[in-house]
Amino acid sequence: MELLFPLILLLPLLLITFRSRKQQRTFAELQSRITPGQRVMTTAGLHGTITQVDGDTVLLEVADGLELRWAKAGIGQIVETDDTPEAVDLTDGDLSAGAAEQGAAPSPQAGVQDADDKVDTVTAPRDHRRDEV
């Protein structure tokens, strides 16, 4: 009975330690698998393709011709499938099925005012504290 209480207190500490070590092993295994040509997501959520691995740094291509240098530890996961949505081209005025579900595209003239339109502006109250200085 005297040993039961200390064991109950140590059990959560041991579980946390084992869990932390498992996460460290998983992260180290992920970093060792990083090779050029893989699609990855950084810990900040940036998606790109690895173009070069050099020690503890990687070159990540995020757009055509745009490469960013990242620390290898900044790679959060390897993206196995390309789950990016297809781009919708609205330049010809023809809505694709995906865009039609979301509603019509806004008019290119939306928010543009004619020269004859008058805009009411509200001026902010003046800060009188500056006058005291």
Query: What percentage of the chain has pLDDT greater than the value 90?
Result: 36
**What is the amino acid identity at position 46?**
L
pLDDT along the chain (133 residues), means of 10: 83 92 90 91 94 93 93 90 52 48 51 51 55 53
pLDDT of residue 57: 93
In single-letter form, the type of residue at position 65 comes to G
Q: Nearest-CA neighbor of 74 among 49, 57, 61?
A: 57
The model carries a pTM of 0.50
Which H/E stretch holds residue 124?
none
Q: How many angstroms separate the CA atoms of 87 and 51, rounded?
A: 24
pLDDT of residue 90: 46
CA distance linking residue 41 with residue 80, whole number of Å: 10
